[in-house]
């Protein structure tokens, strides 16, 4: 009789601890979900876009409070994207040339659009585009961290620029892409962009950019 009672007490204790852990886990998960919803509710609805994966993307206009995020993002993404296409020295040179706060602010003052993309509130990419005098939109930069690719997020970013062009009654969106960047070229072709020109740019310090120019008519 006594051993049965001891066994019953032990089993009851084990079951109690199981239920306690289960309740604690559910409470933590519920709190995390509540905080996520609270974060999303602080962002304007038009800047929240569900994509293929279970994530949310927020576009934030670059300003004095977040401009410091751009250059570290560029370093991370360029070293992922161009490690097999450009030397480390050229990558560093181009980032310093194109991504200084002064350069970005100069573009914004002239009407350029710079946006940081956050995925679940973590900086993951950025856009830079502008309406030009010939009534076309130049997509200067569209970059996304490697670990957030293939989830429909890059498509979302490109669609945003095309929608901007439509809203501005622009006649086309155009961009440059490295001739050896096969992955990017496939992406643009899939989205209706056509290779309209081959061009080489001297960017100084002995470096050149050997690019295709792709365009999508609106």
| Token code pair at residue 93 | 């040179």
pLDDT per residue as tens digits for the range 55-90: 788 999 999 999 999 999 999 999 999 999 999 999
* Domain boundaries along the sequence of the chain: 1-42, 44-217
Rounded average pLDDT over 90-115: 96
Whether the CB-CB separation of 73 and 123 falls below 8 Å is answered with yes
Q: 44-217, what's its fold?
A: Aminopeptidase (3.40.630)
Q: Which residues of 57-68 are buried (b: 16+ CB within 10 A; e: fewer)?
A: bbbbebeeeebe
pLDDT in tens, 13-44: 555 565 556 555 555 455 555 554 544 444 44
Question: Looking at per-residue confidence, does 35 or 99 come out higher?
Answer: 99
Counting Cα atoms < 13 Å in the Cβ hemisphere of 123 gives 19
> How many residues are listed for the chain in this entry?
218
CB 173 within 8 A of CB 131: no
Which pLDDT belongs to residue 26?
57
pLDDT, mean of residues 96-124: 96
């Amino acid at each position: 009789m006594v051993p049965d009672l001891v066994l019953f007490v032990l089993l009851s204790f084990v079951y109690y601890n199981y239920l306690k852990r289960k309740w604690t886990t559910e409470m933590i998960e519920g709190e995390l979900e509540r905080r996520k919803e609270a974060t999303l509710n602080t962002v304007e609805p038009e800047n929240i876009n569900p994509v293929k994966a279970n994530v949310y993307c927020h576009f934030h206009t670059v300003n004095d409070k977040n401009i410091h995020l751009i250059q570290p993002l560029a370093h991370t993404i360029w070293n992922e994207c161009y490690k097999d296409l450009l030397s480390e020295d050229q990558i560093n040179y181009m980032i310093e040339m194109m991504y200084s706060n002064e350069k970005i602010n100069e573009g914004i003052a002239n009407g350029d659009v710079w946006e940081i993309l956050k995925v679940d509130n973590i900086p993951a990419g950025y856009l830079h585009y502008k309406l030009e005098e010939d009534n076309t939109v130049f997509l200067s930069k569209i970059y996304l961290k490697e670990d957030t690719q293939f989830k429909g997020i890059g498509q979302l970013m490109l669609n945003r620029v095309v929608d901007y062009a439509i809203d501005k009654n622009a006649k086309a969106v155009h961009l440059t892409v490295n001739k050896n960047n096969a992955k990017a070229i496939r992406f643009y072709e899939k989205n209706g962009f056509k290779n309209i020109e081959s061009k080489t740019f001297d960017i100084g310090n002995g470096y050149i950019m050997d690019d295709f120019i792709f365009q999508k008519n609106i």
